[in-house]
Structure 1
Amino acid sequence: MAQKSSPAPLPPGPSKPALLDQKFWRHFAKNIWEKKPLLLKNVKSGLLEMGDAEIFDLLVLYSDRCRKLNNPEGFKFYIHGFKAEEEDVLQVLPVKKDKSLLGYHARMKALFSDYCLVCDELLKVNLKKQDLLTEFTDELYRHVGFPNRFSEMGLYLGNYRKTPFGVHVDSCGVFSFPVVGLKRFRLWTPDFVKKNPGLDRAFKYDKYKKNSQLLEVGPGDMTYWPSSAWHIAESDGSFSATWSLGVWVDQPHKEMFAQPLNDLLGSKLGSAGATVTTPFKSLHGATGEVTELPEAYLKSIDSLKNLTALELQETFLKSWMKHISLQGFKTIPRVDFKLSAKSRIQLRSDRSLILWQQALTSKDKFFFSFGGVLVESSKSSGLLKLVKALNAGEFCSVNSFLKGESLKRDLGSLQALADAGAFA
């Protein structure tokens, strides 16, 4: 039975720009998110600044980084559907001499009649365009909620006729933006694939096409499909390049809640929490009945009972602050930035603030966070004043805020934030 639902373009007229305004986001959150695919033509968004030239520059920048480290982490290369070995990937990455995505394609086409390059780590070097993504994701998160895992930017390019790993499903909702060529995505519902398991990783699926939805997009367009959608990209062998934003939705709240609680209990139990065997008086009675807990369990229960509400709240507040300091991304760009008391600094972006909180269990203790890094500092009035000034958009001299006996300690805290990418 063919699917009845179909992607609903907004607004209806193909010639009218699709605005990602509040009306769109309200509609998206209520009717589209994690429910069904969406196809938008002629999207009006700052994200469209990330065209083929911008993507090529990012790709070369990240490729140069991989070559310098002699590590192709984040890249995958497929030839006729077969994944290349890691040691071979460095040899086929884009170089500045290619001049453009099409120039890179011309070089690859001379070597391979069917290839696909995948990059999952462009955000590591995407400092200049980070704000464009943040502007988009801020609105998304405001309407659908902050992801318990993360979002990540991916790039797919080549002349491959089908996704090299066949029909598949991810654990993320995907926004896709073609920058070169036309892109075709074929989608199936999870219920249909459950009834037709032969679709899983399939490359031959002609008999199932009538049960699929086909999204055809080009530069300037945007498509979205939910995390439950099984899909594959198709091509006639022409070159295409598409970047996407994947929003991972596979981590439930209970896991987010359990990790900081586990860390807190670990700190309370100390060395007793690291033991790998448990002393006992008796395992069970003659009838098999279990009536008592070992002493280690009883002491652990006492540790739980002695936790205060402030300790619990502070633990979860620190965990939440650290999580949101990544702004919902898997990773954010980091830069080499060596600080001294004479340094003059400013935030790299007014959209990327240094987060902070005063400890609930001690008035003299503060926590600061940026880019997934958490810094703890005591009696840090100067550091707090500096962070507030930076967050207000000021260009600051470090020695105007940090001085005296706490200078060395506060510089160390500030350097940790710099290493996480806080400053331009």
Structure 2
Amino acid sequence: MDFAELYWEHQAVLLGEEQAKALPRVSVDELFGAVVSCCEDFCRGGRQKVRFYSDDQELDLLGGGHQRLLPARRDGSFAAYNARLMDLEGLPNYALVVADWHQFNRALWERILSAVQGLAAVVGISHARMDTQVFLGTYKTTPFGVHVDRTSGFHFPVAGTKTMRFWPDRFAQATPELRGALRYERYLEQSTALSARPGQVLYWPSSDWHVAESDGEFSVTWGFGYWLGDGMTSLALEALAQLLMETPGRCRAVPRSALVEEARELREVDTLVDKLARLSADPRLRAAVARGWLEHFSACGYLRPPPLLEHGGAAGAVTLKSMYNLLAAPEAGGAMRVAAGGYSTTVADEPAVWDAIAVLNAGGELPVRADDGAVGRMIDFCLRAGALQLRPDQT
């Protein structure tokens, strides 16, 4: 509670090891495997956000054939990866940024979810999104300069020292030449700098403009971001646009001679606006937004959860993992949608399913039986979503 009252969205702060105990811990070796997996998926054409900079210039990793500059399993560690880039590739000033690496290590993601539950209980779950990032390299300043992210950020150095310099939003707005600057020496007096070493945590609010600094020492930092904004509105607009594209329509030819009259009456514009009004009341729009809402909040705001798990149908009993909640809502046609761990499915809307969800959310235990109908299908889905833990049958 003290952190939320004193610092949350108020000011940047360095949290010492004692203050940071409640926040997640990820080792440099654990992080290496997840980052490599994310980079591998990126090279296979996955929709990952991986950026590499050399001397402050971003390289085209895929189109430019620079995949060799990414960490690989053969490196074995971040330290060995850095040595390869320095010694074999001759890159003394580089930066690698990898987003959403948590998708590739469910155990680490669940560790993060569990640790931020206390924060979410005070400030709520992000309505925009939660994400993870890794920043590593020997870069002396952030290669894209002084910038702002509309996210409350937590950064955890795991190798080397992480230094961040901050400016208040009011100063950056009044000083446009600061925004994006790589050279900002004349504005140092208006800034504040904080440095963290492994075991400590840097936090700053979404309004702070910032840039990373170093003396060229190799460092690895991971972070998670609590984005500010209304992602639910974006979700509704995307769903409405999809419905609009799926609704048949026909372009009407308008002769040049008739354009003046058309401009006066705007009949075609009114037709489109009427169409949008009808679609906004379409039950399919509500269903699409409801599905997104359920999935979003079942994953504590993370839009990109790890993939579903395989489940072999073992017998036993299940309980809900402490970092999850099961969410459900009725759907049309006698169905209900159940969400867990960022995914959702539909099962028959039966009282027994609602009762089973209530038992699990309250910390209770349920048996797993293959012939359990809608309840069994709900439990099987939640196991694949990673939200339940199985106690195998001992008989």
TM superposition score category, shorter chain reference:
0.7 to 0.9
Q: Given the alignment, which residue of 326, 329, 353 partners 2:302?
A: 329
**Counterparts of residues 54-65 of structure 1 (less than 5 Å):** 54-65=30-41
Q: Given the alignment, which residue of 74, 82, 85 partners 1:105?
A: 82
**Counterparts of residues 38-49 of structure 1 (less than 5 Å):** 38-42=13-17, 43-45=19-21, 47=23, 49=25
Residue of structure 2 equivalent to 1:81: 56
**1:418 CA drift (Å):** 6.0
CA pair 125-343 structure 1, distance change in 2 beyond 3 A: farther
Residue of structure 2 equivalent to 1:368: 338
**Is the CA contact (8 Å cut-off) linking 1:66 and 1:90 kept in structure 2?**
no
- Cα distance in 2 for partners of 1:76, 1:200 equals 20
**1:183 CA drift (Å):** 1.4
Residue of structure 2 equivalent to 1:5: none
**1:235 CA drift (Å):** 0.7
Q: Which structure 2 segments of 5+ residues have no match?
A: 390-395
**Counterparts of residues 294-305 of structure 1 (less than 5 Å):** none
Residue of structure 2 equivalent to 1:401: 372
Q: Deviations over 1:352-393 (max 9, x none)?
A: 23322334x67x331111344332333556665665666556
**1:210 CA drift (Å):** 1.4
Q: Deviations over 1:87-121 (max 9, x none)?
A: 24531232344333222222222121111111102
Give TM-score scaled by structure 2 length: 0.78
After alignment, is 315-324 or 381-390 more displaced? 381-390
**Is the CA contact (8 Å cut-off) linking 1:185 and 1:216 kept in structure 2?**
yes
- Cα distance in 2 for partners of 1:64, 1:345 equals 36
Q: Does 1:238 align with 2:220?
A: no
**1:233 CA drift (Å):** 0.5
Cα RMSD, aligned residues only: 4.1
**1:61 CA drift (Å):** 3.8
**Is the CA contact (8 Å cut-off) linking 1:386 and 1:401 kept in structure 2?**
no
**Counterparts of residues 133-144 of structure 1 (less than 5 Å):** 133-144=112-123
- Cα distance in 2 for partners of 1:73, 1:290 equals 43
**Counterparts of residues 147-296 of structure 1 (less than 5 Å):** 147-251=126-230, 255=234, 262=240, 273-275=247-249, 277=251
Q: Given the alignment, which residue of 34, 37, 42 partners 2:9?
A: 34
Count how many residue pairs are aligned between Structure 1 and Structure 2.
Answer: 380
Name the SS for the 2:336 alignment partner. strand
CA pair 289-385 structure 1, distance change in 2 beyond 3 A: closer
Name the SS for the 1:57 alignment partner. helix
- Cα distance in 1 for partners of 2:263, 2:343 equals 53
Q: Deviations over 1:184-204 (max 9, x none)?
A: 111112222222211122111
Name the SS for the 2:370 alignment partner. helix
Give TM-score scaled by structure 1 length: 0.73
**Is the CA contact (8 Å cut-off) linking 2:24 and 2:112 kept in structure 1?**
no
CA pair 44-144 structure 1, distance change in 2 beyond 3 A: closer
Name the SS for the 2:107 alignment partner. coil
After alignment, is 47-56 or 124-133 more displaced? 47-56
**1:175 CA drift (Å):** 0.9
- Cα distance in 2 for partners of 1:287, 1:132 equals 59
**1:290 CA drift (Å):** 8.3
**Is the CA contact (8 Å cut-off) linking 1:284 and 1:290 kept in structure 2?**
no
> Which one-letter code corresponds to 1:159 in the other structure?
T
**Is the CA contact (8 Å cut-off) linking 2:24 and 2:111 kept in structure 1?**
no
CA pair 357-181 structure 1, distance change in 2 beyond 3 A: same
> Which one-letter code corresponds to 1:119 in the other structure?
V
Residue of structure 1 equivalent to 2:393: none
